A and B are shown apart, each in its own frame.
Chain A
């Protein structure tokens, strides 16, 4: 029980730090100051919102008979707000594209390694950048 408490305190501290950084950025952009209390309040709100998000995401994943939370669940979570929904849709497409590219690169690399090991041609090695 005590360990759980300590863990949640650590998480809160981490969130507080990140929220502080984001607030600093926003303050610089808009030439406004955040009071320390405002940042603390935002951190607390973020912490509790995470709780809500987690239970909702879990319910959505279970609803789709999955054990793993996926991007679809996150999209469903943000469906109500059109702007947020669009933003998340865009981000998820970017992520998917990045993943695709990485996969292809890995495949290419794997293929190269295979040909290298099978032929063991030194001229081929020299061709490599």
Chain B
């Protein structure tokens, strides 16, 4: 398996941001291993969910369903709230429909 799931500096900065205490740098190998397992399981679940909907492409619905099962998305905390809370502005623009001048909605509304 790959030695780094995500860049070390990025992982540690995120971890330190959410940990409300000092973090020793030797926790990185453990976090990396956990991330590896997390992404393996994530891929496995997403594959099952897209197959369940008779698709071969993983779509936003699959990720939303996964997050619902993980308990991050609930009826009282819809996925848009999480996007607003945790993603930077440029990603929010990609994911949450915004009406721009010219009466266009970005991103293109599906369904």
Give A contacts to B, CB under 8 Å.
Answer: 56, 59-60, 63-65, 72-73, 76, 79
Contacts and interface: CB of A to CB of B under 8 A. Distances in A.
Which 3 pairs of residues, A with B, have the shortest CB-CB distance?
A: A64-B53, A63-B65, A64-B52
Given A60-B52, A72-B52, A76-B49, 14 more contacts: A56-B69, A59-B65, A59-B68, A60-B65, A63-B53, A63-B61, A63-B65, A64-B52, A64-B54, A65-B53, A73-B52, A76-B48, A76-B52, A79-B48
B82 to A, nearest CB: 16
Residue among A63, A65, A72, A73 having the largest count of chain B Cβ atoms under 10 Å: A63
Residue among B48, B52, B62 having the largest count of chain A Cβ atoms under 10 Å: B52
A64 B53 CA distance: 4
Interface residues of B, number: 10
13 contacts: A56-B69, A59-B65, A59-B68, A60-B52, A63-B49, A63-B61, A63-B62, A63-B65, A64-B54, A65-B53, A72-B52, A73-B52, A76-B49
**Majority-rule SS of B interface residues:** helix
A25 to B, nearest CB: 32
Nearest to B44: A79
A64 to B, nearest CB: 5
Interface of B: 48-49, 52-54, 61-62, 65, 68-69
B52 A59 contact: no
A79 B49 CA distance: 11
Contacts of B62: 63
A13 B32 CA distance: 47
A59 B52 CA distance: 12
Contacts of A79: 48
Contacts of B54: 64
B91 to A, nearest CB: 24
B48 to A, nearest CB: 6
Contacts of B69: 56, 59
Contacts of A60: 52, 65
A60 B54 CA distance: 12
A57 to B, nearest CB: 11
A10 B2 CA distance: 54
